[in-house]
Structure formats: structure tokens, C-alpha cells
Amino acid sequence: MTVHIAENELQILYADTDMMGVIYHGNYIKWLEIGRRQLIEDIGYDYLTMEKNGYLAPVHNVDITYDNPLKYGDKAILRTWIEENTGVRIVYGFEIVNQDGLICTHGTTTLLVVKKVDGKFKPVVFKRVFPEWFSKYEEIKVKK
């Protein structure tokens, strides 16, 4: 397989806007999760399986650049891909484009895989606990 980019059409609601009439910046975080979930499902995995095995994947870092505003009535496409896969952390790249193909927002989210031990979250090595999933990410990530 080559690079895989998951796509989601975003439904932009009036309730998503702020006083300036543009999409409130906090809504993007929710959309980024939608993109990650789509990518994971596209390749045959899911977070529920991870959780059933006792692991979680919390967001460690979010880096968002807002280039152009999205407004109510715009059509938007979210594209998500694997930017980096170190075996410990996973960096998902993303961009949101409007109906004119203009990049409105782009950036990355970094996730870790952890196991809850004695009430605390302990980071684990993703490639060790989910070797097939890790390998699939290696297969589809953006080549630099």
C-alpha cells in the first residue's frame, strides 16, 4: 500500500460559529478526532479494540494553524494521514480545505499509547503491543 489519506466531509452547522461568523476554533479538535478515527477504520483497526486490550491513545500534542476562515454554508473536506510513526508516538497530519480547494486549516496531532497501571497511565511502545497496526502505519505514512 502507498500513502493513505482519509477523507471526511465536514458538516458545518450554524451552532459551530462564533461572534465573528466563522467556525469557533475549538470545534476543530473534535473534527481531528473524526479524521483519525476514519483513517484507523480505513485500514481495518479501531480504538475500541485497543481499549478492550487495556490500552488507550491520548492526545499528547495538537498543532493547528488557521490560514483561512471557514464559515457557515462552506463545504469542507478534512484530510488525515500518518506523518510520523516512531513506535512510541504517532503523529497524524491533517488539512481542512473548503469548496474552492483553499487550505483553511492544517497541522498535526501527536498521540501516545498508554496502559493504565495502578490508576496511572504508563506509556508503552506501540510497535511492541500492536505490531501489525504499527506495520500498517509504516506502510501508509507520508514518505519524507
Residue 22: DSSP 8-state: B
46 is catalytic: no
Please, what is the end-to-end C-alpha distance for the chain in angstroms?
16
Q: Residue 5, Cβ neighbours under 10 Å: how many?
A: 16
Catalytic residue among 16, 18, 46, 63: 18
CA distance 142 to 144: 6
CA distance 10 to 24: 14
CA distance 91 to 87: 11
Known catalytic residues?
18
